[in-house]
Amino acid sequence: MGPGEERPVAAGACEGVSKLELLKLRAAERIDEAAERLGALSRAIWSEPELAYEEHHAHRVLTRFFEQEPPAAAWAVQPHYQLPTAFRAEWEPPGGRASAALRPLHVAFLCEYDALPGIGHACGHNLIAEVGAAAALGVKGALEGLPGPPPPVKVIVLGTPAEEDGGGKIDLIEAGAFKNLDVVFMAHPSQENAAYLPDVAEHDVTVKYYGKASHAAAYPWEGVNALDAAVLAYNNLSMLRQQMKPTWRVHGIIKNGGVKPNIIPSYSELLYYIRAPSMKELQVLTKKAEDCFRAAALATGCTSTDFGNVTFVVPGIHPYFYIGSKALNHTEQYTEAAGSQEAQFYTLRTAKALAMTALDVIFKPELLERIREDFKLKLQEEQFSNTIE
């Protein structure tokens, strides 16, 4: 197949409209047909907000959605996939592989569905789940009923919990859930439509200090104060900000600082997000932050451990979409907007765009090859190796 050529799609295309464009129209029609079910899915998640790793209701709603999506048993659904509130749904067109040895293209759509403490779905994760589900239905609808053998492709929906707190995607990456995926799609609600917004590379770090408990009034000299270490680390990082670039971010909290005032804390814990525009800069900033953590342990006599994970494992896109409100994410006003009927129009329009882009990847081999090459170059630029493949 030569450069710029498309995989065969269907005979009898309308004059002036390419076969691929007809498939895209079919995907959009399929999403419109399912609009009522998709809206109900989003509202069910929005109306019962759940925190990270506790999204049991959302997990049930989403897995049942795919289990009941007609025709019966079309999707192979794995509930509790690697994590209690994660899931995986797969669909493959019958006859899509001429032989068992032919590996299908793995196209994945991600769903998020955790909420924020106190203000519910103020980041619109109910809409992220809806976009992922709708786009997957659109691609499936486009590929169903193709005359002749369909392309070798597997459509995958991954339910990824705990985006707001805990790093559910990191857990899934480490469990191998992203292995063998060729390209990943998701979209996030925002105040504007954008193919790209200046996100940053992020390193989530949990730092734990271990000291020695003692009575704070009677024998304080016998203790090693783990809370002092946490406070020192916090102050060290506050001082570091004076020398940080404007595009660098370090922010965190003290999650555990002791039990009672009269007991010198033997344990403390901090959670920090370290962010920079690129992986290369992130490595520099992370080293500076780790020095701050270690210095606090050294000064107080505590021992420390830290855990973090940042990775690039699969190429993908993460556009942003307007939902009819200029309210800022993580506000009560955005929670209201995420549950509004107006948001449905923009959400389904975004799902159609993702489905159409996925069809481009499926039917334009040269596009997929260019994506893979760009991904490799990006890893080389960032001096980062893909440890999953």
SS3 247: coil
Q: Of the given ranges (29-33, 140-144, 147-151), which has the lowest mean pLDDT?
A: 147-151
Q: How many residues does the chain have?
A: 389
Q: Give the angle 76-162-196 at the CA atoms, nearest 5°.
A: 90
- pLDDT band, residue 200 (cuts 50/70/90): low
| Most confident stretch, 45-49, 222-226, 304-308 | 45-49
Please say if the pLDDT value at position 310 is more than 80: no
Please say if the pLDDT value at position 141 is more than 90: yes
Strand positions, DSSP E, the chain? 76-79, 87-91, 105-111, 153-159, 183-185, 188-190, 201-210, 249-256, 267-276, 303-309, 316-317, 320-322
> Is the Cβ–Cβ distance between 190 and 197 less than 8 Å?
yes
Mean pLDDT of 250-270: 91
- Positive or negative: CA dihedral 353, 359, 362, 365: negative
Contacts of 334 (CB under 8 A, 6+ apart): 122, 123, 124, 189, 325, 327, 328
Mean pLDDT of 101-121: 93
d(CA 178, CA 312): 10
Place of tokens 């925190």: 51
Mean pLDDT of 308-333: 83
Which secondary-structure segment (H or E) carries 175? none
pLDDT, position 318: 86
pLDDT, position 314: 87
pLDDT, position 10: 44
Q: Of the given ranges (18-22, 59-63, 341-345, 378-382), which has the lowest mean pLDDT?
A: 378-382
Is the model more confident about 45 or about 282? Answer: 45
Token pair, residue 83, equals: 């994590």
Domains of the chain, CATH where assigned: 19-198+318-381 (3.40.630.10), 201-309 (3.30.70.360)
d(CA 345, CA 328): 19
- pLDDT band, residue 97 (cuts 50/70/90): low
Is the model more confident about 367 or about 311? Answer: 367
Alpha carbons within 13 angstroms on the beta-carbon side of residue 83 total: 26
> What pTM value is reported for the model?
0.76
Beta bridge partner(s), residue 89? 77, 157
The full DSSP string for 268-280 is EEEEEEEEESSHH
- pLDDT band, residue 386 (cuts 50/70/90): very low
What proportion of the chain, given as a percentage, has pLDDT over 90?
Answer: 64
Beta bridge partner(s), residue 282? none
- The mean of the pLDDT values for the chain is 88
Mean pLDDT of 2-29: 68
